[in-house]
Amino acid sequence: MVLYKRKPLVLPIPGPLPANINVKVWHINETGEWFPRYTDYLERMDFYMRRQFTCEITGSSFLTFFEALNSEEAEFRLVEEKFPLKLREPVAKFMHFNEIGRVDLLVERTHSRFRNDFYPGERVFLRRKNDRTAEEPATNGHKPYVIKEKASFNAIFDVTGSKVVKPAFSKYMITEEFGINSLMVDQNDIYRDRTTFTKHLIKCFCKITLRRTSAKSGAPLCVKDEYLAMYGLTMDWPASMLKYKDEVPDPRSSRPNSQRTQNGAKSSQHPQPFPDTKRPTDSIITGQDNKKPKFALEKELSPSPAPFIGDDRPKPYNGPNPAIANAFYYNKDLDYIPVKHPGKRFAYTYKLLEVFQFCQTFSKVLLLSPFSLDSFVKSLQATDIKTAATFVVKGNINPSLLDKPSSHESPAKNGNNTQNTAVEHAEKRKPGLCHFIEDHSSSYARFEISTSNEHDSIAVDDIDCRGPSLLLECFVALERLFISENGDWKCMVMDKWYDEDELVGKSAMTDSVKSDPEDNREEDVVAHAKKEDDALNDPEIDELLERCLNFRKISWTERLSKRQFKNGLWIIILLGIFQDCMHIPTYTKFAHKFIRAIVPSEGSATNLNKVLWLNFCEKLSLEDKVFALWILVDITSNFSQEIRSYVEDTLDVCTQIRSEKLKLSRRLKSELQDLSQLSVPPEGSIEVQEEIDQHQATIDKINRDRRYLTEKLIENDVRRLRALGADRNGNRYYWQELSGVQRFREDDLPDIGSGRLWVRGTSVRDSERLFNIPQDRLSAWKKLATENSISVANAKIFRIRRTDEGAVIDESADENSTIIFADGKVNYAVIDTCALYKKIIDETPEQALLSDSQWVAIERPDDINELISWSSEYGNSDQALPKQLRAIKESLLKSLGRRKEQLFTVVEVAAFKRLEEAMNQNVVSESELEQCQVSGQEKQVVDDDDALEEIVTEIMELDDGSQTETSLKRIRELEERRDYILNARTFKDHADRQQSKALRKATFNTITEKVKNQEAALASYMNDVVQNANPAEKLWSNELARSLWNTSLYLGASGKPIVRNKLSVKERMTEIFDGMTSSPQKKS
C-alpha cells in the first residue's frame, strides 16, 4: 500500500456515475475517482501531486502518489516475474513468527538459509565441472533443469557425538526442462539463476507478504491474513512470543466502546471512505492491519487536501493576536516599517524571501558566503539613489540672542513638505526618534530634520568595494551556473514551452471551428496564434538586444565562459539569459520591460556597459530588480545540473547522517546498560568509580554528537521550506532558518540569516473556506488594497470600516453592526456570527492579511511567547502551530536575539555613546552666550552711531537744497547735536568697544562651529539608528570565493582554485565526522 506520512493510505470508493451519459466528468484512472466539478478534480490532483508519499515496498520517500503507486506496481511485477513460485511457501513459513524482528536482518538470514536449498518444481542449472562455486546467469547457454524429487539427509557425527563428520545435505533428482534425461545431483552441483533470488527480491516479497503482529516494541513479523490460506499457515502464536500479543479487551467494556464509536466517530454508520490504494485489478496488496479499529484509521489516515486540519466547531474568542500588532513589513522602498504605520507594501516580498532562501541553501554551490537578509536588502537599496537618501539635521541659531542673524537660514516654504516627509519617514522607521532629536534644541539653537540625496551615481569601475557588491555577487553567482569555463552549457532551458491552459484554449477554439462550419472562425484562431507569436518575437526587443549582446564583437556566452562580469558586463550576460527564456510565459512580459528600460535606444556603443549600469540603477524599481534576480533563481532551481546534483548528493548525505545517528543510539543504549549494571562503589573503590566516570563521559560525548548530527541533518535538508503551521485566520508562519541553512555558533559571525518569524496572509482557498469570500470579491479586494489601501478595500468590498470615534462597524447589514465599540471593547455577541469579524479584530481593518502576497515579520522575542500562548488557547485547529513553535523556540529566540543585538542594541548603544560624547564636547556655556550678547552701554553706542548717521544724511540733504533761514537754523541744530555726541566719546571707550566687538564675533563663530558639530552628531546618530542604506559602504565580503581564488566572483574568479570546494558526499561526510567527538570514523 502507498504510505502517506508513514501510514497506509486508503482511497475513497468512487460513487455511481450519473445517469445522463452526456454529463462531462473528470476522471483519475489510477484511483477510479470522478468529479463533476473541475475545481474538485484539481484539488484532488494537487493532493496526489504532493511529494509526501512513500513506496511501501522500496521505502522511497518524497514521491507523488502516482510515482509511489507505479513504484509499488513495478516491484510487485518484478516479484511475480522473478521470484521462484515454489520457493515462496518455504520462505513465507520461515519468516512467519520469526524471532528476528528487523526486516534487514531477516532478509540476510533468509538469503543465507535458502541460497543452497532447493525445492521440487524449481528451475535450476547444472554447474560446470571446473567451476563449482560461481553462479551464472540464465543466458549462459546451459540447459535448464526442473527439480523432480528432493531427499534430505541429517548430519553424521563421530562416535562421541561431539564432532560433525559430514554436515547435513540434500540429494535432488532433476530432469531436463525440454527433454527426458534425468540426473541425481547434490546441492553443490546446481544453482538458480542469480537474478531470481536476490536480497532485493526477498525484501520486496517480505514487504508484500508480511506485517507487524502488534504495535509493541520488538513484536515479530507475520504473514498477512490474505496469504495465510495460500501458504497453509495459521495465526497460532508461539509460546515464547505471547508477550508481544495485543491484549484482548474485556467483553464487559465492549458495549460502551461500541456505543462511543457510534456516537462519537460515527464510523459504523458509514462505509469506509478509503478502502484501498491499489487498482481493482491488483489484488496482492489489498490487505491491511485489521487490528486497528476502523474509525481510528479514518481519523488518522484521511488524506484530505485541506490546507490545515482544523475543528470547525465554534470556540470562544480569546482576543486578538498580540504578535501581529507589533509586526513589521517591507514597503515599496524596502523600508522596514511597523504595521501600525500603513503604506504601500513591497509587491514581491515572497520572491525576495525565496531568492534569499535559495542563496543561503545552495551557498556552497553558488560560492557565496552567508549573509543576512538585512544586508541583502540594504544592498538592493544601495542601487537606488532615491531610497539611499540620508537624514540631515539643520540647526537654526536664535537671532534674538545674538547681534546678527543666523547663517543657518530657515527652511523656505517649499521645503516644509520635504521636512514633513522626512519626519514622517523617520517616525515610521523608528517611532519617537524625531522627538528625541528635537528635544536637543535649546535657547540658542533649534534643530530640524530633512533629507539629502548627497550620493551620486556609483561609478561602475569601483562597485566591488561599495554597497551594491552583495547584490551583484548574487547575480554573478547565478549566471555562472549557466555555462562552465569550458563553454559547456550546464543549465539548459527547453526550447519550447507549452502551457496547459493555452493548449486547452487552443483545442477548444479548434473544436468550435469544426463544430460550427457556418461561422468562419478559423481566421480568428490563426490571428490569435499570430498575435501570440508577435508578442514573443517583438522586432523592437530584437533590435535592442542586437545592440548589446555582441558588445565589442564578443558574444555574451563567450563573456560568461571567460567570467567577464565587472564594469557592467554582467548585465549583458543577464540580457542574453533573458533572451533565451523569453518564450516562457512567466518571464515574457517582464523580460520585455527589463530590456526596454536598461538598453539605450540610441547613442554610442563605446560606453554601453556604463550606460546599462546607470539605467539599471535609475530606471528600474526595487521590485524590478528583485524580479530579475528571482527569474535566475527560478531557472537554475528547475534546470541547473549543479543544483540537481547537489540535491541528490544531499539526500545521500542525509541518509548517512541518519545511519550514523542510529549507530549512536545503539551505542548509547549499550553504554546505559553497562552503566546500570555498575553499582555505586563503596568508599575506597576507586576502580569502579573510574569505570562509572568513563561510561558517563562516553554518554555525554554521544549525546553531544547526536545533537550535532541533528543540526547537520537540518542544515542539509534542502527541500522546499515548509510552513510551521497556520492560525485560526489562515495565516501561515515560516522560519527561514528551519532547514537548509547553515547553523552558526555564538562565537561565529552573527550577521547572518533572516532573524525573524514571517507571517503570510490567507490564501484564496483558505479565504473561501474560512470566511466564505468568493474569489471575485477577493480579487476586487486585492486590487483596491494594492491601488489604495487595505482600509479602503475593507470599506468598499466588505463594508467594514472604522468611524471617526474609533469604533469598527459593518455597514452591509440592515442596521449597522458594531464590531468594536469606540472605547475599544469587543462586541462578543456579533463576532460569533461571522469568522471574518474575528480576523478584522485580530489584525485591525487597516492591516487585515487577506492575501497570500502580504507578508509581515515578527522579531520581538516576547511576541513569540505571546503567539504560542495565544494559539494554544484557541483549540485544536491551532495545535500544530504552537507545537512547532515550542519545538524550535530555543533556536528561534537565539536567532531573534542575535539579530536584535547586532542591528539594534549594539548599534544604538554605540551610536548613543558617540552622540553623548559629541554633544558634551560641543556644549555652549552660559559665559559664551553672555559674551555674544550686547551690553547696555554698547547698545547706547550703537544708538549714537545710528543718530550720527542720520544727522550726517540730513545735513547733506539740506546743503543740497535751497539756503533759507529755516534750513540754516536746522543745520546749526544738527551740528550742535553732532558735536555733543562726539565730545561725549573718548579714545579709551572706543578701544574697549572695538575689543568687545572682536571678542563677541569670535565667540559667535565658536558657537556656530559647535552647533554644526551638534548637527553632524545628531544626523549621524539618526542615520545609524534608522539604518538607511549607504551606497558607499561595503556591507559584505564573499570570503568563500576569496578563499578559493583570492578574489570575488564579480571580479572574474576563474581557473583552478587554491583549495578544493568540498561538495562530494565523501568530503562532506568527512567534514561532518571531523566535528564529532565520539565518531569511530574520526578515530580511524
3-state SS track over 313-365:
CCCCCCCCCHHHHCCEEEECCCCEEECCCCCCECCCHHHHHHHHHHHHHCHHH
Helix (H, G, I), strand (E, B) or coil at 396: strand
pTM of the model: 0.65
Cα(914)–Cα(909) distance, integer angstroms: 9
* Residue 149 and residue 25 in one domain: no
Maximum mean pLDDT: which of 285-299, 752-766, 887-901, 966-980: 752-766
Q: How confident is the model at residue 280 (pLDDT cuts 50, 70, 90)?
A: very low
Quote the crossing angle between the two packed helices 469-479 and 569-581, to the nearest 10°.
50
Sign of the alpha-carbon dihedral angle for 248, 249, 252, 258: negative
What distances in angstroms separate CA 385 from CA 17, 346, 423, 451, 508, one per listed residue?
A: 65, 18, 19, 12, 50
* Residue 132 and residue 95 in one domain: no
* Residue 29 and residue 157 in one domain: no
* Residue 103 and residue 130 in one domain: no
The more confident residue out of 241 and 506 is 241
Q: Is the pLDDT of residue 740 over 50?
A: yes
β-partners of residue 338 are 328
Q: Is the pLDDT of residue 999 over 90?
A: no
Cα(892)–Cα(902) distance, integer angstroms: 15
Domain boundary among 906, 941, 974: 906
What average pLDDT does the segment 145-149 reach? Answer: 91
Percent of the chain with pLDDT over 90: 24
Maximum mean pLDDT: which of 87-96, 302-311, 999-1008, 1009-1018: 87-96
Closest to 703 measured CA to CA, from 657, 731, 669, 737: 669
Identify whether 429 is part of a domain: no
Cα(940)–Cα(374) distance, integer angstroms: 63
Domain boundary among 863, 888, 906: 906
Q: How confident is the model at residue 313 (pLDDT cuts 50, 70, 90)?
A: very low
Cα(422)–Cα(428) distance, integer angstroms: 10
Model pLDDT for residues 1024-1040, shown as the tens digit of each residue: 777 566 666 777 889 99
User: Domain containing 141 — which CATH number?
Assistant: 2.30.30
Maximum mean pLDDT: which of 65-74, 124-133, 474-483: 474-483
Cα(240)–Cα(236) distance, integer angstroms: 12
Q: How confident is the model at residue 298 (pLDDT cuts 50, 70, 90)?
A: very low
* Residue 180 and residue 204 in one domain: no
Identify whether 892 is part of a domain: yes
pLDDT of residue 460: 61
What's the total number of domains in the chain? 3
Helix (H, G, I), strand (E, B) or coil at 802: strand
pLDDT of residue 419: 58
* Residue 42 and residue 172 in one domain: no
Cα(934)–Cα(332) distance, integer angstroms: 53
Cα(380)–Cα(1031) distance, integer angstroms: 10
* Residue 821 and residue 878 in one domain: yes
pLDDT of residue 525: 45
Cα(614)–Cα(609) distance, integer angstroms: 9
Model pLDDT for residues 742-788, shown as the tens digit of each residue: 766 555 555 678 889 999 999 988 888 888 888 899 999 999 988 88
Domain boundary among 872, 906, 940: 906
Model pLDDT for residues 781-825, shown as the tens digit of each residue: 999 988 888 889 888 998 888 888 888 888 876 566 888 888 888
> What type of residue is 886?
R
Cα(417)–Cα(430) distance, integer angstroms: 20
Model pLDDT for residues 323-337, shown as the tens digit of each residue: 888 899 998 888 888
Cβ contacts of 174 within 8 Å, gap of 6 or more: 124, 126, 145, 146, 147, 148, 182, 183, 185, 190
Residue 260: in which H helix or E strand, if any?
Answer: helix 254-260
DSSP 855: E
* Residue 204 and residue 295 in one domain: yes
Identify whether 675 is part of a domain: no
Q: Are strands 336-338 and 221-223 parallel, antiparallel or unpaired?
A: unpaired
What average pLDDT does the segment 159-182 reach? Answer: 86
Identify whether 942 is part of a domain: no
Cα(793)–Cα(797) distance, integer angstroms: 6
* Residue 99 and residue 122 in one domain: no
Residue 733: in which H helix or E strand, if any?
Answer: strand 732-734
**In 785-911, beta strands by DSSP E:** 800-802, 808-810, 817-820, 855-858
Domain that holds residue 84: 1-112+199-247+257-305
Model pLDDT for residues 372-428, shown as the tens digit of each residue: 898 899 899 888 876 666 777 887 776 655 554 444 444 444 445 555 665 666 666
Closest to 200 measured CA to CA, from 91, 53, 79, 70: 79
pLDDT of residue 941: 64
Residue 1044: in which H helix or E strand, if any?
Answer: helix 1039-1045
Q: How confident is the model at residue 459 (pLDDT cuts 50, 70, 90)?
A: low
Identify whether 852 is part of a domain: yes
Number of H helices, E strands in the chain: 40, 25
pLDDT of residue 1046: 92
Contact 587, 578 (CB under 8 A): yes
* Residue 137 and residue 218 in one domain: no
Closest to 357 measured CA to CA, from 745, 856, 739: 739
Cα(366)–Cα(474) distance, integer angstroms: 8
> What type of residue is 169?
F
* Residue 266 and residue 187 in one domain: no
Identify whether 430 is part of a domain: no
Max CA distance (Å), the chain: 174
Identify whether 684 is part of a domain: no
Identify whether 1028 is part of a domain: no
pLDDT of residue 570: 95
Quote the crossing angle between the two packed helices 569-581 and 608-619, to the nearest 10°.
70
Q: How confident is the model at residue 533 (pLDDT cuts 50, 70, 90)?
A: low
Cα(581)–Cα(632) distance, integer angstroms: 10
Q: Phi/psi of residue 354, each to 5°?
A: -65, -40
* Residue 229 and residue 188 in one domain: no
